Chain A
Amino acid sequence: MSALRTPAGGRVDRSRPIRFHFDGVAYEGLAGDTLASALLANGVHLVGRSFKYHRPRGILSAGAEEPNALVTVRRDEARVTPNLRATQVELYEGLVAESQNRWPSLAFDVGRVSDFLSPLFPSGFYYKTFKWPRSAWHALYEPLIRRAAGLGRAPALADPDRYAQRFAHCDVLVVGAGPAGLAAALAAAESGARVILCDEQAEPGGSLLDGGEARIDGAAPADWAAAAIARLSADPRVRVLARTTAFGYFPHNLVGLAERLSDHLADVAPGALRERLWQVRAREVVLATGAIEQPLVFAGNDRPGVMLAGAARIYLNRYGVRAGTRAVVVTTHDAGLRAARDLESAGVEIAAVADLRRGATVGGTRGNLRVSAITVDGRSVACDLVLMCGGFAPAVHLFSQSRGRLTWSDTARAFVPSATAERARSAGACRGTTGLAAALAEGAAAGSAAAREAGHGGASLRFSVAGDEEPARAGPAVAQPLPGGKAFVDFQNDVTARDLALAAREGFRSIEHVKRYTTVGMATDQGKTSNLAALGLVASTLGKPVPDVGHTTFRMPYTPVTFGSLAGFARGELFDPVRRTPMHEAAVALGAVFEDVGQWKRARYFPRPGEDMHAAVARECRAVRGACGLFDASTLGKIAVAGPDAAEFLNRLYVNDFRNLADGRCRYGILLREDGFVYDDGVIARLARDRFHVTTTTGGAARVLAMMEDYRQTEWPELAVWLTSVTEQWAVIAVQGPKAREVLAPLAAGVDLSHAALPHMAVAEGSVAGVPALVLRVSFTGELGYEVNVPASRGREAWDAIAEAGCAQGLTPYGTETMHVLRAEKGYIIVGQDTDGTATPDDAGLAWAIGKNKRDFVGKRSIERASMKDPARRQLVGLRTRDPGTVLEEGAQLVGSPGQAAPMKVIGHVTSSYASAALGHSIALAMLSGGRSRIGGTVYATMPGGDIPVTVTSPVFYDPEGKRLHG
């Protein structure tokens, strides 16, 4: 065993050696080690290179606050996790870890050159440097900055692991299982509350695991903790979650927990969950998150071997590891002295103690890849370990995330919680309290009060504590950095005391601005070991008291959370629901190419062997115009509107007049928003006096129903009308084309398809191919057409029957692309493509649909405004290119004269553009300023190859008289 490992003590299992690799070198640790403690036991301090200057860095801390020891853990090619804190990586047999941000090796890193050039990289270097020449940004600066930025590398393969998510409710959530948290959980459980206790470490207990002479109810702290955990775990109303970080505090006491389930295991069963994300809604929250020891700011405080005194004490007492052999202690807090005492008893030579509160001074450190000496009181002292302690910052992260107010405490020399915004309370070190007895008492009181607030009896728990340490006395928050050398404030983002002073000199006053300018506290550790020092330095440079400078905002997550955990099962096929029509498989069998329309899969075209989309669409278009086509229109939104006031209701909503619509007839309805712009359109069929079948656009179904419900419930509650979404209850089979009647008539029963009985825009109920059907004589193609609505469960059956019956007439399945071409040939708009939320009915050429004698409808008052009648508004027109083969680009801008220099005066834009097989030339629809008055004139479509002259036409290209509709 390593000479640095103590012969006994700690929480590691000396009978279970664990082999692992770091940067390709084999080492041995013990079960219970973290990667950091195992490396220290092997004498390894150098574990990484810093972000900006590539300075050699060692292990600073023993916990979640670690800024330096970021490593990549590699299980296999896909399971590569960068930026893990070595202080939190549990050792397992065969673990493979790598250092980051170095090339070619950790000991010899070319990037270090930036350290020697550092005078060139002051605060705001980017803002000051990358300003000119402008052309260099894309070509040079951005690629360079991107290459230099970031730490670690994301894995190249998809994440093969599984992640779960769970919602939970409890009376009392306790965050942190140190003395205060355990006492709180015990008291709340004793009171009868449902409790969740979470702790980020593998073994709950917090500082109770760090040794010490104290006894709680006669037991050693770690034993007391183990007994408390056992008691809580046995209580069916308590859930204890270890390896679980409370990373975010969201409104109304919702707390996000990330539970790590298998990263600590050597052998992970296939399919085992890696992490579980908990969303806990707690009636009451007890925060017992502890405090974070703060480094001191002096030159060379970042050398490997310089670490937090408390961390060295934890490595000794919890892991049985001496972090060095000859140590110098630099401290402004009693905790530093205690650590020195513990290390000395364990055989570490204490070469010097610099208590800065008593006038000791500290100069720079020396050493290349490991500290070899430090200047204390002007004298160089050889050492291989420097222990620093600048006091403790309460971990108020979650409290502050919950929008609780912080206040400066002169006793704690830190910000501590004051007014809470949520039903929460803090206990123990996270509110600046020191001492074991005080933490236990505060925890018990908080747990009891929380349970009482949650409606349970408040049990009163007392603990007897013997041998508690004297309350520690804190010194000044920050050591004054001496001139010369780099004194680091933020280790992870490489921000020095000098950078902060420069920012202050350059006029930055707000701490939030200083943060953004220097990037202090903006690394992945969010300044856990730097914010307090930065604040002290800025305050002293500005000559203000610290509380007047204030603090920066704490944001979630407390420590990084994997994307996998946040995504949970919502990935791959489960990322978003996929909606398929009842006839989907029929389209698959026909070789359809699908497109996504919202969540729907829609058949876009049905290519035959050797056909590309263009050829398939041309063939499908010819089939519909020449014979007939079969189209799956099931995705259309459908709303059943029923009730004695159904007609009045639709009349108030839609621009059309529905009072005079006869039973068995349909009308093309246009729905506006109250601001007068087209919101949706669709055919509305009156099935009976009190029953309407309303169709909407595919994408508009949900929002149209929501709008209808809004008016029904809140504006016109007096109307007796009911709305039901029936989109998924009906399968819709459109049969369109001159031979449509021939195809359908033999299949129809109880419904007369003749023109006299069922003219254009009529509806009848009957059956088709033995399936009950609602048959609408409607057309989105300009041809004779029917839309056969059948119950969704029998959609496939009806589709197959119609397809078979139509073989002789050349019935051809067609997709959405053909549907688009056919409707554009007729100048039928698609809401959302040809309109964009700024088109009135008149702009879209639909003024004819507005009921002439209607006093009011939604949007009417708005379209009466003078500006809505401006003849210069963009109006729907058709466009024709001189070259029939040129298809304009949808979205192309229109200008009045060619060859303009930018910025051009734009007078319109192309909304739809296709090659038309029926017409033998390309067609386009456009919204054009004063468009209808320009018909016959020429405008220019701006395209990458130059302006294309186009003739403005009517938007109706095909069968303008509409004869075919009435065939």
Chain B
Amino acid sequence: MLLIACPYCGERPEVEFAYGGEAHLVRPADPAALSDEDWAAYLYFRRNPRGLHAERWRHVRGCGRFFNAIRDTTNDRFGATYAVGEDPP
């Protein structure tokens, strides 16, 4: 069970969190203007990197807030956690 540092509450066990997938995907302002391919890319295509991954977590059984985290997918080590809307460090 991972130990995750919520930026608002501090270190808490993984069971308190919900995973939210890749971070920094912004919903297009005008989806109607997108081609089917571009919309599909937004909906379904993810980086799935080996190594550092910026991803969303929600402290759902705690403060309830979403935040972003950098996790190394090869060893589950977390780098930084930071607020929604902030740039990755």
Which residues in A have some Cβ–Cβ distance to B below 8 Å?
A: 250-254, 279, 281, 403, 421, 674-675, 706, 709-710, 713-715, 717, 855-856, 860-862, 864-866
Task: Please tell me if the beta carbons of A856 and B60 are within 8 angstroms of each other in the complex.
Answer: no
Which residues on the A side are within 8 Å of B76 (C-beta)?
251-252
Among B1, B36, B66, B84, point to the contact of A865 (Cβ < 8 A).
B36
How far, in whole Å, are A99 and B39 apart by their CA atoms in the complex?
65
Asked if B79 CB lies within 8 Å of chain A CBs, one says no
> From residue B58, how far is it (CB to closest CB) to chain A in Å?
7
| Contact status of A710 and B32, CB under 8 A, knowing A251-B1, A252-B1, A281-B3 | no
B20 and A710 contacting across the interface, CB-CB below 8 Å: yes
**B31 CB within 8 Å of chain A:** yes
State whether A251 touches B39 (Cβ < 8 A).
no
Residue in B closest to A856 when the chains form the complex, CB atoms: B31
How many residues of chain B are within 8 Å of chain A by beta carbon? Answer: 25
**Distance between Cα atoms of A713 and B43 in the complex (Å):** 19
Closest chain A CB from B56 CB (angstroms): 7
The 4 closest A-B CB pairs, nearest first, are: A861-B31, A252-B3, A713-B66, A715-B27
Closest Cβ neighbor of B23 among chain A residues: A714
In the complex formed, the residue of B with least CB distance to A676 is B43
Chain A residues with CB under 8 A of B60: 706
- Given A251-B2, A252-B2; A403-B30 close (CB under 8 Å): no
Q: B31 — which chain A residues lie within 8 A by C-beta?
A: 856, 860-861
The residue of chain B having its C-beta at the shortest distance from the C-beta of A279 within the complex is: B1
In chain B, what residue has the closest Cβ to A167?
A: B13
Q: Which one of A252, A279, A675 has the highest number of Cβ atoms from chain B below 10 Å of its Cβ?
A: A252
Contact of B43 among A674, A709, A866 (CB under 8 A): A674
Q: Name A710's contact: one of B26, B34, B66, B85 (CB within 8 Å).
A: B66
Contact of B58 among A709, A862, A864 (CB under 8 A): A709
Nearest neighbor of B68 in chain A, beta-carbon distance:
A714
Question: Contacts A252-B3, A717-B84 hold; do A862 and B56 have CB atoms under 8 A apart?
Answer: no
Complex Cα spacing A197 to B50, Å: 36
- Is the pair B3, A714 in contact by a Cβ cutoff of 8 Å? no
A861 to B56, CA, bound (A): 24
Residue of A674, A855, A866 touching B32 (CB-CB under 8 A)? A855
Residues of B with C-beta under 8 A to A252: 1-3, 76
CB contacts (< 8 Å) of B32 on chain A: these are 855-856, 860-861, 864
Query: With the chains together, A149 CA to B20 CA distance in Å?
Result: 43
With CB as the reference atom, state the residue of chain A lying closest to B4. A252
Is B64 an interface residue, CB under 8 A from the partner?
A: yes
How far apart sit A865 and B44, CA to CA, in the bound complex (Å)?
Answer: 15
B18 within 8 A of A: yes
What is the CA–CA distance of A865 and B37 in the complex, to the nearest angstrom? Answer: 10
B65 proximity list for chain A (CB < 8 A) = 713
Q: How far is the CA of A865 from the CA of B32 in the complex (A)?
A: 10
Chain A proximity mask over B4-32: 1 for CB below 8 Å, otherwise 0: 00000000010000101000001100111
Q: Which of B34, B75, B84 contacts A421 (CB 8 A)?
A: B75
- Asked if A250 and B84 sit within 8 Å, CB to CB, the answer is no
For A860, give the chain B residue with the smallest CB separation.
Answer: B31
**Which listed residue, B1, B43, B84, B85, touches A254 by the CB 8 Å rule?**
B1
Given the contacts A252-B3, A713-B66, A713-B84, A403 and B56 also touching, CB distance less than 8 Å? no
Report how far A860 CA is from B28 CA in the complex, Å: 12
* Cα-based distance from A588 to B30 in the complex (angstroms): 53
Residues of A within 8 A of B26 (CB): 715
Minimum Cβ distance to chain B for residue A288 (Å): 23
28 contacts between A and B (CB under 8 A): A251-B2, A252-B1, A252-B2, A252-B3, A279-B1, A281-B3, A403-B75, A674-B43, A675-B43, A706-B18, A706-B58, A706-B60, A709-B58, A710-B20, A710-B66, A713-B65, A713-B66, A713-B84, A714-B84, A715-B27, A717-B85, A855-B30, A855-B32, A856-B30, A860-B31, A861-B34, A861-B39, A866-B36
Q: Give 1 or 0 for each of B60-87: 1 = CB within 8 Å of chain A CB.
A: 1000111000000001100000001100
- A864 CA to B84 CA, complexed, in Å: 30
A715 to B85, CA, bound (A): 9
Inter-chain pairs besides A254-B3, A862-B43, 5 sampled, C-beta below 8 Å: A714-B66, A715-B26, A715-B27, A855-B32, A860-B31
A412 to B66, CA, bound (A): 50
For the complex, what is the distance from the CA of A717 to the CA of B66, rounded to whole Å? Answer: 11
Report the separation of the CA atoms of residues A465 and B3 in the bound assembly, to the nearest whole angstrom: 41
Query: Which of A254, A713, A855, A864 has its CB near the most chain B CB atoms (within 10 A)?
Result: A713
A864 CA / B40 CA spacing, docked (Å): 12
* Residues on the A chain within 8 Å of B64, using CB: 709
Min CB distance B80 to A, Å, is: 16
Interface centre among B2, B31, B75 (most CB of A within 10 A): B31
With A251-B1, A251-B2 known as contacts, the answer to whether A714 contacts B43 (CB < 8 A) is: no
Q: Which residues of A contact B30 (CB under 8 A)?
A: 855-856
A870 to B58, CA, bound (A): 37
A250 CB to closest chain B CB (Å) equals: 6
Chain B residue, CB-CB nearest to A867: B36
Assembled-state Cα–Cα distance A253/B58 (Å): 22
The smallest beta-carbon distance between A701 and chain B, in angstroms, is 14
**What's the least CB distance linking A268 to chain B, in Å?**
32
Please give me the residue from chain A that is nearest to B28 by CB atom.
A861
Q: Which residues of B contact A862 (CB under 8 A)?
A: 39, 43
A residues less than 8 Å from B20 (CB atoms): 710
A250: chain B residues at CB < 8 Å are: 1
In the complex, which residue of chain A has the Cβ closest to the Cβ of B85?
Answer: A717
Q: How far is the CA of A714 from the CA of B25 in the complex (A)?
A: 10
Closest B residue by C-beta to A865: B36
Name the residue of chain B whose CB is nearest to the CB of A252.
B3
User: Cβ of A717: which chain B residues have Cβ within 8 Å of it?
Assistant: 84-85
- Which residues of the partner chain A approach B85 to less than 8 Å between Cβ atoms? 717
Cα–Cα, bound, A861→B32 (Å): 6
Q: Closest B-chain residue to A866, C-beta based?
A: B36
The answer on a CB contact under 8 Å between A714 and B56 is: yes
Which residues does chain A contribute within 8 Å of B18, judged by CB atoms? 706
Q: Which residue of chain B lies nearest to A250 when distances are taken between CB atoms in the complex?
A: B1
Chain B residues contacting A714 (CB-CB under 8 Å) are 56, 66, 84
CB distance from A95 to the nearest CB of B (A): 37
CA distance A861 to B43 in the complex (A): 10
B64–chain A nearest beta-carbon distance, Å? 7
Nearest-neighbour CB distance to chain B for A924, whole angstroms, equals 34
With a cutoff of 8 Å between Cβ atoms, the chain B residues found around residue A251 in the complex are 1-3, 76
Which residues of chain A have C-beta atoms less than 8 A from B75's C-beta?
403, 421
Kindly state the separation between the CA atoms of A713 and B59 in the bound complex, as whole angstroms: 12
User: Given contacts A856-B32, A862-B43, are A281 and B66 in contact (CB under 8 A)?
Assistant: no
Chain B: which residue is nearest A702 at the CB level? B60
Bound-complex Cα distance A348 to B49 (A)? 63
Q: Which residues of B contact A860 (CB under 8 A)?
A: 31-32
Nearest B residue to A715 via CB reads B27
Alpha-carbon gap, A94 to B34, bound state (A): 78
**What is the CA–CA distance of A855 and B30 in the complex, to the nearest angstrom?**
8
The interface residues of chain B lying within 8 Å CB-to-CB of A856 are 30-32
Q: Report the minimal beta-carbon distance from B28 to chain A, rounded to whole angstroms.
A: 8
CB distance from B27 to the nearest CB of A (A): 5
Give the CA-CA distance A224 to B43 in the complex, in Å: 65
Report the Cα distance A294→B18, complex, angstroms: 45
Bound Cα distance A254, B11 (Å): 13
**Distance A253 CA – B64 CA, assembled complex (angstroms):** 25
Specify which chain B residues have a CB less than 8 angstroms from the CB of A715 in the assembled complex.
26-27
**Closest chain A CB from B30 CB (angstroms):** 7
Interface centre among B18, B20, B36 (most CB of A within 10 A): B36
Most buried by A among B1, B56, B60, B65: B1
- Which B residues are CB-close (under 8 A) to A861? 31-32, 34, 39
Residues of B within 8 A of A254 (CB): 1, 3, 13
Q: How far is the CA of A421 from the CA of B74 in the complex (A)?
A: 10
**Which of chain B's residues have a CB closer than 8 A to the CB of A706?**
18, 58, 60
For the complex, what is the distance from the CA of A862 to the CA of B39, rounded to whole Å? Answer: 8
Contacts of B39 in A (CB 8 A): 861-862, 865
B54 to chain A, nearest CB (A): 13
